[in-house]
Amino acid sequence: MKGVHLRRPILIAMIGYIIGILVGLYLKISIVPFCFLVIAIYKIKQIYKAKRDKIEEENDIKSRKNKKVKENKTRKKLKLLSLKRYIRYLRIYINSKIIFLILISSIISNSIIIIQNKKYEQIYNSLEKQEKINLVGVVVSNKEEKKFSNKYKIETKYNNTKIRLYIMVKKDIQLKYGDKIEFMGEYIRPEKRRNYKGFDYSNYLKQLKIYGTMKITNVKVIEERKANPIFQISNEIKTKIISNTKETLDEETSAILLGLILGNKDDIDENIEENFRSAGMAHILAVSGMHVTYVILGLSLIMKKILGKRRNYIFCICVLIVYMFITNFSASVTRAGIMGIIMILSKIFYRKNDIYTALSISLFIILIYNPFLIQSLGLLLSYGGVIGIIILNKSILSILKNIKIKNKKY
């Protein structure tokens, strides 16, 4: 009988990876000693089992010689009623390979999260000690308007480590995506949770790979277009879509359309947003798997006859990658995009698409990039929603098939 471990090794590894992250985040301890203890116990148990089997075999030979086969059979029947019988069934699914895979993946993720937490603390402490900090960095976000200042995300080097920071500049200072700037200012460390179950701003910034905020006193633009070329182009495409939409449509319609296609809710009126919430349709304004599905279906309907089946699949993959870049790799879009690409690749190579493996691969990629995203509410809702659909899909369909309206099945 084949076990689950032979069919879905990536899912098993993913479970171990999540365990390691959670232990590192919440217990703040290394899982390595525990894993070595489990391996040592397992090896000792194997040695003990081998010796016990040898003794039982010798006893069995002796009992046969003494013609006590009936008594031996009775003993075996009684043993089947013990806990060992059920442990044997459990071993079919949870054997040494599964345990080993979970332990290895949990050790890796646990080590990563502990190392990264130490790195954050070291940089926090180092930046806090300096009254005025002078750095050179590249702007990697568009302007975010605040009440008294403009906010940008910058990428810089500090102590030979690449870090990201928020910078707050005066309203009259205008920066562009890709500008290389020299700036001086005061560092503000992100606050930790003060109250039980309160909002932890430092954890939130870790999900964005940001090390804190700087209030800038002096800023000077050195060069333009110095960001990563791929991200620079994707940002320009996004900016062009936004500007063209605003020019073509009226303010209200363009704001809703940008929310629908890019998840950009900055220009949507609060009353309209509240109406979407009241109608239970607020998720439409947040870019998610639904949008990725529309992209795949739309391209398949339009381009299938023009490009042909195989070329259309490749074209869909390219568009999905571009779409993920434009939407800044938000958790839900990345999940749906990766799963969509895996589904398309399975059709190209004539392989069966396993939904659990696809989910595991997408989550693996996201958590390898940033393990702190395990705390992201958007990621949890995205994966929770998909898992709920997978589990309840058959049950809901069977209920819907049996619904009768005026004695007619629909």
pLDDT in tens, 24-56: 998 888 888 888 887 787 778 777 777 777 777
Tell whether the model's pLDDT for residue 11 goes beyond 60: yes
Bigger pLDDT: 405 vs 52: 52
What's the rounded Cα separation, in Å, for the pair 154 and 68? 82
% of the chain beyond a pLDDT of 70: 88
Mind spelling out the 3-state secondary structure of 363-394?
A: HHHHHHHCHHHHHCHHHHHHHHHHHHHHHHHH
**DSSP states along 285-312:** GS--HHHHHHHHHHHHHHHHHHH-HHHH
Mean pLDDT of the chain: 83
What's the rounded Cα separation, in Å, for the pair 334 and 351? 22
What's the rounded Cα separation, in Å, for the pair 362 and 379? 11
Identity at 26, one-letter amino acid code: Y
pLDDT of residue 378: 83
Average pLDDT score over residue span 376-400:
86
> Beta-carbon neighbour count of residue 14 at 10 Å?
24
